[in-house]
A and B are shown apart, each in its own frame.
Chain A
Amino acid sequence: MPMMESSNIPSKREIKVPMVRECLDQRGENLHKILKESIAGFSGAEISVSIDMVTLRIDSVDLAEVCELLKYTEKFGFDYLSCITVVDYEEKQEIFEMVYHLVSIRRHHKMAIKVSLPSNDPTVPSVLSIWKSADWFEREAHDLFGIKFGGRENLSPLLLFEEFEGYPGRKSYPFHDYGEW
């Protein structure tokens, strides 16, 4: 079969991408309400909802303070940091987005905190002193995405080996062009 010339390929039809709908349950509604009152003092903080997850977007300088507030205030009581995710938006917006998923075992809440970091200097304060579970998640983010955590010393490779170069989690890391070895 002859190869198709690149000019013959029809241009991709513009598809309008639908967005997910919000559907908060009762617990989420309550959390949304009390969260709105508590974070009024932080500039740049905004609350949104992603399906059933209350999402708080803050500046990276406020992260440690907000996390302490959320963990130690009785009405929130986020005693359990579920996971830390890095999402790579380097190509389009030149940012890395850190997503912290918190769960309150006592109050049965859950929420996400989002922090955007510039891709040329992705540095964020460490939350290790607040939740010990942040330890390996932060080291993993450092390994795979090259995120730097302010105030942390032991960021030795966790999943990769010492001599590994590059950040394989990033979208820019070559993926399918490896050879046989």
Chain B
Amino acid sequence: MQVHQQVSEHSDAIDLMVNMGPQHPSTHGVFRLVIWVDGERIVKVEPHIGYLHRGSEKICESEQYNQIVTLFDRLDYVGNLNSELAFCLAVEKLTETAVPERAEYIRVILCELNRIASHMLFYGVYGLDAGATTPMLYGFRERERVQELFESVTGARMMHNYIRIGGVKEDVPDDFHKNVLALLDHLKGGVDECDSLLSQNEMFLARTKGVGIINGEDALDYGVTGPALRASGVIEDVRVTDPYSIYDRFDFGIPVGSNGDCWDRYYVRVEEMRESIKIVEQAISNIPKGEISAKVRRIIRPPAGEVFVRTESPRGDLGVFLVSDGSDKPYRVKVRPPSFANLQALEHMLEDTYIADAVLVLGSIDIIMGEVDR
């Protein structure tokens, strides 16, 4: 950390400018936060992003539709399957492709497991942010089990490129059904264990309760979505309010917080893992046999027009806006990244908090810089 001293104009107190990041372990990527403090209190913060800007949207304009799926893998690199799904849904809506039932079920199962893996990573890292080392080990143990299943299905641990336009890449292995059921058994116990380990810990409560509060109205105004918005008491989940894929067939709840503080944002995610397990349970028991991909041309030329799809990624409302001019490459691809909008609200959440809480508030938004900078 670098520290600069400067005398502020408005008072005789000395404001310290503290520079956090871009190379800092608790910024979850390359994110820089400039903080002005008066003693221990935060006076002002200024987030700096863009260290990971790769121009993904521009690259999309020079690739064919089926080549773009891999680029979406690299946006939200913790919830890859959800990113892939968002793009594929957009193209399918544009080309009016009907996806076979079996593929839809496989997609939902994998996306929900991906959500659990992503939240488990958050759980571990957030414990670490708060100074607890043990949750990291438990969170990663559970995540590892999901990753193993992904490896057996997609052949990759992170950059899957498994969800394709019109369906999925290939059918799941023969022991998939058995493995998912075994995994769910593990995860149920795992989530409970993680919950009992950290959630009601007295020191954790003291660090997170009542810290970084944002109310529902402000959160919406800042464009905050996903668990961070639901923690503020707003009932909004794209899977329910604007259902995509086959999410309208499943019975699951939306966990909602009440205070909009760090603990609520943390606990909404823990509860969300339980709801995801419910969805996977229903999906795996109803998964039909049949085709795994629609008949799609090798070179896709959608009709000219525009489409905007909203999906619920582990971090929030992931939107894809696609403009097609009828050629084999998209005219414009715009990603509406949830982390990008959520991060805007950081300034508001950090108002009048202590500098020691900055890391916890930042951690509670659960940002992925690959998605923020694109």
Contact = CB atoms under 8 A, between A and B. Distances in A.
A171 to B, nearest CB: 8
Contact of B304 (A17, A52, A81): A17
B210 interface: no
Nearest to A169: B58
Contact of B303 (A19, A53, A81, A131): A19
Contact of B326 (A15, A133, A136): A15
B305 A51 contact: yes
B298 to A, nearest CB: 17
A176 interface: yes
B243 to A, nearest CB: 11
A83 B241 CA distance: 18
Contact of B321 (A18, A83, A176): A83
A43 B324 CA distance: 29
A51 B94 contact: yes
Interface in A79-107: 79-83, 85, 87-88, 99, 101, 103, 105
A158 B319 contact: no
B308 A53 contact: yes
A88 B332 contact: yes
Task: Classify chain A's interface size.
Answer: 35 or more
Given A20-B304, A132-B221, A159 B53 contact: yes
B304 A105 contact: no
Interface in A5-53: 15, 17-21, 50-53
Interface string B61-103: 1100000000000000000000000000000011010000000
A132 B50 contact: no
B223 A80 contact: yes
Nearest to A18: B303
Contact of B50 (A101, A105, A110, A158): A158
Interface of B: 49-50, 53, 55, 57-58, 61-62, 93-94, 96, 217-218, 220-223, 225, 234, 236, 241-242, 302-308, 310, 317, 319, 321, 323-326, 331-332, 334, 336, 340-341, 343-344, 373-374
Given A20-B94, A101-B308, A133 B222 contact: yes
Contact of A17 (B218, B225, B303): B303
B308 A19 contact: no
Contacts of A82: 223, 310, 317, 319, 336
A105 B236 contact: yes
A158 B343 CA distance: 13
Contacts of A122: none
B223 A168 contact: no
Contact of A85 (B218, B302, B326, B332): B332
B49 A159 contact: yes
Contacts of A161: 50
B49 to A, nearest CB: 6
Which 5 interchain pairs have the tightest Cβ spacing? A133-B223, A20-B305, A17-B326, A83-B336, A159-B50
Contacts of A160: 50, 53
Contacts of A80: 220, 223, 225
A103 B319 CA distance: 12
Interface string A165-178: 00011010001100
A157 B332 CA distance: 22
Contacts of B58: 168-169, 175
Contacts of B343: 136
Nearest to A51: B307
Given A50-B305, A110-B310, A158 B336 contact: no
